[in-house]
Structure 1
Amino acid sequence: MAVSRKITKKRTLPLLPLRGLTVFPYMILTFDVGREKSVKALDEAMINNQLIFLVAQKDAKEDSPDEDDIYRVGTVSRVKQLLKLPGNTIRVLVEGVSRAEVKEYLQTEPYFIAEVIERAIPEEKDRNVEYEALKRRVLSTFDDYARLNGKISPDTVASMGTIEEAGQLADIIASNMQLKIDQKQEILNEFHPDRRLEKILETLLSEIEILEVEKNISVRVRKQIDKMQREYYLREQIKAIQSELGDKDGIAGEADEYRKRIEAAKLPEEAEKKVLKELDRLLKMPSGSAEGSVIRTYLDWILDLPWNKKTEQKIDLRRAEEILEEDHYGLAKVKERILEYLAVLKLTNQLKG
């Protein structure tokens, strides 16, 4: 859709690099400042109509960033309040005014001063059906995101419906999302309001997919923990009952020994499931029952098998032929097939079917 011409405005402002933080227009937030250069930039801002250019660092761990360590697009912001804290730290309350891009660094010491260019793209007064559809989809998707995220208040979600401009809606939604710095910067870099709103929709859909996966994982883990806690509780109850009955070292102790053997055997997954199922049955059996004896025999047999133990395969065709001739009279074709099979096995060293 067509939009009006760009409106550009140059400003010369003190620049304050932010660590792990991105400020959007219309955003009001508080953060602490302690680096000497940043404090001096704030002092300059209080003289310069309280305006300062806030821009994120590419690497939050960098304590003394230079121009290459700082993103080009940031937010012209107004300092609303300063509060001095112990240890030469200042708590700052700011409000984002407009996005802008660094044209040139005019000074780097004792603090940054940059010439920045604000590029505003006025929005259409008469919006078409396509825009209304996009806006509704964004609002609906943000509602889904907020429910999954669990950290955004219903009042914040409801307030989004009162915002008319695409750019403002995109910026305020972005400021309420939990995103990585580079993701937020990608949204901040987009000056065109409609494309920015489309970018927000893409980001919301992607984040919802991730949140749903996280939720499913949490549910599975919770179920597993609950199951383990129930099993532990039941085992402790059985031990307590057996202790009361004078059978302290009875079936529960026997079951613990079986568990150690199962763990040591490193059974295949299906075999381990079957063995554990039989062990659970054993725990529920009355002491001395006939069926309990059958289960013990089964468990001992399974656990005595040489799981995961291999021997080197040696095939001597001549010796095999001698044994077949000595032990079996006739059966020439059968012997021939057995020797063929052994010859192939020796060559391939594995069975194919």
Structure 2
Amino acid sequence: MKRHKMSKALAVAATAACLTLGLQATPASADSVCGKEVGGAILTKYNELGGEGGVLGCPTSGELTTPDGRGRYNTFDHGSIYWTSTTGAHPVWGAIRDKWSDMGWEAGKLGYPVSDELTNPDSEGKRQQFEGGTMYWHPTLSHGAHAVSGKIGWVWSAYNWESGAFGYPTSDVYWDNDNKENYQRFSKFQTIFYNPDGNNIEGCIHACVGYYGTVADDPASQAADLINETRIEIPLDKWQDTFVVRTWPTLKGRAGGRALIPVEWEQAWQRVPQPWAMTDTKNSSLYKQFACHVMFSVPKPGGWTGGESWDLESWRPDISWLKAMDPLTNSKCNWD
């Protein structure tokens, strides 16, 4: 078959298209560093970090496009730099990069980095913000890097992040099939949870958040173990002023009697912070409810009066001690 000759105009157009494609393949203002092309905002960030003599070392790739087509990145000896038009260019390295990789890189639930790695106020821990949450790491307290996000992150932030009552995250988020809730552990013997649908128990009848701590996890407290666990439940439809405190006494705690009420109450709060909606009036009512449970918890067939846990509701009124200790009217310790 006779081939048709390409017209001069078409040949010029084809040559121009090839040149255009060639220009697009190389980043604007790209430099050759260690034999690799680094350009644009990624090059600017790379130079801010000291270039090839800095923390990242030499590039090990040219600029690449992420699978979703939204971002660009270069890999380096000791990390990567990722860029999008909305997040800017940010490096990711070390334990945080390793965990981010495990979670699916930018395609995972965290998305792209929106900050560089930052040093926490304790001057030891690190954190890095991503579109879908923040990754935290500490050399001795966190047991690796872990992301905190969503409702669990919201509760954690209310208590001053890693500097507060919970400390650093020590686990990823897991699903508790018994309670039907997500939970995450923290370094000060507490767990924060989010129950999206509710389990029809006390403060989690509907969607709720909260936290719990187990005294027995702390070896220093086991010798005087009267309250094994305290759990705070905060209904999301009433979270501003309503909560439930649930405590699980040990056998020793159940037999403590009147004399040990203050000691047991103090131990109930050893491993959990008080709810942010606590007031003096609510605290007084909760303490009387607790004392009532201590006084009237006695064995019965199949368990104990009042149930396995002592449940204290913040909406109960602050009644007199005389009424709170009246076995005829308050044997269940849940007065109106």
- Same fold at TM > 0.5: no
Higher RCO (CA-CA < 8 Å; seq separation 6+): 1
What's the TM-score, normalizing by structure 2?
0.20
Larger radius of gyration: 1
Q: Which structure carries more strand by proportion?
A: 2
Q: Which structure carries more helix by proportion?
A: 1
What's the TM-score, normalizing by structure 1?
0.19
